[in-house]
Amino acid sequence: MSFRMFVPLVLLAVSACSGESAEKEGGEPEAAASAGAGGATATASSSATGGGAKSVKDENDLYNFSYSYPAEAGAIPALAAQLDADLAASRMELVAEAREAKDDAESNGFPYNPHYFSEEWKVVANLPGWLSLTGDFSTYTGGAHGMYGLESLVWDKKVGRGFPAIEMFESPEALDAALGDRLCQALDRERAKRREGAPKGQFLDEFEKCVGVDEATVLVGSANGRTFNRIGVWFGPYVAGPYAEGAYELNFAVDGAVLETVKPAYRPAFSIKR
């Protein structure tokens, strides 16, 4: 369904572009204590409501899998079907990789650590004609560290299709130019907070220079519930800073320069934040 960019796993806190939040609807588990890999006890659960939220969890000695999306997404049949297909494909890929890794570990006399995949979709903005989501995902396939990343999905309710938020703009370079010094200054301020005033020159050059939008996940949010008037720029670790600093998310108000970079077909969905 979408392209996932992976970076080493650290704790991630994603701030939404708007103050909106999605409440997840619960339900009774459909299955529990099912047979796992090698006859080990496993647990599996799935909760969903008709046209609502979904949460699937499956844990055993071979793998741990979880996937969820909010009621706002589940209420749109075509979007729910797309996310369900991604859920199934993600689990199938995890199981195949885990089985191969387990066989390889046993053949070479190494201990096997269960593989892991998790994705949680959250609402950034729910507008009359649009639904903006983020997909916060993480995975572990062996080794010292896992991986994680962030996806953007904007659903056009009228047309019935979804795409990454960056596709609403003429190009990453155009948006980068429109943000200009605002992006670089915001990034440097956040770096200074995390580095506790450490002077420049103590980090690799790529961790001190300004980073472009083409290396980020772009999010679109709303402060008024009617139009997109805020954007988020999310950089994974190793993009704007070293591993220990984690991910960076910077938020900006839509101004005239940013609005000019929005493709004409999507411009009615945006407004300048006053």
Structure tokens, 105: 């570990």
pLDDT at 129 over 50: yes
* Percent of the chain clearing pLDDT 70 (strictly above): 77
Rg (CA), the chain: 20
Task: Answer yes or no: are the C-beta atoms of 245 and 256 closer than 8 Å.
Answer: no
Q: pLDDT digit string (tens) for 97-107?
A: 999 999 999 99
Judge: domain 7-163, CATH 3.90.79.10: no
Task: Answer yes or no: are the C-beta atoms of 219 and 232 closer than 8 Å.
Answer: yes
More confident position, 42 or 210: 210
pLDDT at 157 over 70: yes
Query: Where does the pLDDT of residue 41 fall: very low under 50, low under 70, confident under 90, or very high at 90 and above?
Result: very low
pLDDT at 46 over 50: yes
pLDDT at 251 over 80: yes
Rounded CA separation 230/152 (Å): 14
Measured between alpha carbons, how far is residue 34 from residues 29, 62, 94 in Å?
Answer: 12, 13, 18
What pLDDT, on a 0 to 100 scale, did the predictor assign at position 30?
30
Task: Answer yes or no: are the C-beta atoms of 191 and 204 closer than 8 Å.
Answer: no
What pLDDT, on a 0 to 100 scale, did the predictor assign at position 194?
81
Q: Of 135, 22, 140, 47, nearest to 83 (Cα)?
A: 135
Query: Where does the pLDDT of residue 235 fall: very low under 50, low under 70, confident under 90, or very high at 90 and above?
Result: confident
The arithmetic mean of pLDDT across residues 194-208, rounded, is 63
Identify the residue whose tokens are 């890929």.
Answer: 93
What pLDDT, on a 0 to 100 scale, did the predictor assign at position 2?
42
Where are any strands of DSSP class E within 174-247? Answer: 217-221, 230-235
Give the chain's mean pLDDT: 82
pLDDT at 28 over 50: no
Spatial strand order of the sheet with 230-235 comes to 217-221, 230-235, 248-253
Enumerate the β-bridge partners of residue 56. Answer: 46, 67
What pLDDT, on a 0 to 100 scale, did the predictor assign at position 1?
43
Query: CA 168, 221, 14 angle in degrees (round to 5)?
Result: 115
Rounded CA separation 14/177 (Å): 24
40 backbone dihedrals φ, ψ, rounded to 5° = -75, 155
Measured between alpha carbons, how far is residue 197 from residues 112, 121, 190, 193 in Å?
Answer: 42, 35, 11, 7
User: Is residue 164 classed as helix, strand or coil in its secondary structure?
Assistant: coil
More confident position, 146 or 141: 141
* Percent of the chain clearing pLDDT 90 (strictly above): 61
Q: Of 171, 161, 164, 175, nearest to 129 (Cα)?
A: 161
Domain ranges of the chain: 7-163, 167-269
Task: Answer yes or no: are the C-beta atoms of 234 and 217 closer than 8 Å.
Answer: yes
The residues, ordered by sequence, that sit 6+ positions from 116 with a Cβ below 8 Å of its Cβ are: 63, 64, 65, 94, 138, 139, 140, 146
